[in-house]
Amino acid sequence: MSEQSAAAPDAAPPTEDLTPEQALQAANERVATLEAELAEMKERWMRAEAENANVRTRARKDIDDARQYAVQKFATDVVETAENLKRGIDSLPPAAADQPAIVSKIREGLDSMERSFVGTLERNGIKRNDPVGQMFDPNLHQAMQEQETETHAPGTVLQAWSQAWTLNGRLLRPAMVVVAKAPAAELAGPAKG
């Protein structure tokens, strides 16, 4: 017998001094102890594996979020530029048959530039949503004013001062809107004066 195996603390007691029944009982106890240790180690291993899987999942989600939303500040600034371009186009005089050719060409050029710019933004996950005619959604719209109307249902967006912008489905900038409300009830009966 080697010194290493003789010095091992988990070694079974020598069986030369034991009766066969005692040796069998000692062996069964040793097997039961080892099985309990094995079950405990297996439980620890399974918990460690589950924790590792959770860490990997969280890390993957964090990486995906970073990839999709890392440009959020830049996208917010670019959206402001797109809004200003749209305001510039809207400030041009309305198209007329007798307008100078240069005004028509400027309008066409700016319209083309705006379509191209918005298309580039959309290809990169930045989308514009025109809220006019939609029901007011506090997740996408910021009500700047209410306006009484009989022609639209209460809560309908009547006018947009700016449009809603999202980056991969996450709100970058809410639309600034005017929302319809029901007309005030007229006083019942004649006015006293």
**What confidence tens digit (pLDDT) does each residue in 64-79 have?**
888 878 888 889 899 9
In whole angstroms, give the CA distance from residue 161 to residue 193: 41
* pLDDT tens track for 85-137: 998 888 888 888 888 888 888 889 999 999 999 999 999 999 999 999 999 99
- Please check whether residues 80 and 112 belong to one and the same domain: yes
| Beta-bridge mates of residue 127 | 166
Calculate mean pLDDT across residues 12-31: 82
190 within some domain? no
- Please check whether residues 49 and 112 belong to one and the same domain: no
4 within some domain? no
* pLDDT tens track for 147-193: 998 899 999 999 999 999 999 989 999 999 999 998 886 434 455 54
79 within some domain? yes
- Residue 168, domain CATH: 2.30.22.10
- Please check whether residues 42 and 64 belong to one and the same domain: yes
Tokens linked to 25 = 């009982």
How many domains, in total, are found in the chain?
2
**In this structure, which amino acid lies at residue 23?**
A
- Please check whether residues 66 and 85 belong to one and the same domain: no
6 within some domain? no
CB 105 within 8 A of CB 124: no
154 within some domain? yes
- Please check whether residues 121 and 104 belong to one and the same domain: yes
pTM of this structure? 0.61
- Please check whether residues 132 and 79 belong to one and the same domain: yes
| Domain range for 97 | 71-181
Distance set, CA 178 to CA 25, 30, 97, 98, 134 (Å): 87, 80, 33, 34, 11
In whole angstroms, give the CA distance from residue 37 to residue 43: 10
What pLDDT was estimated at residue 102? 87
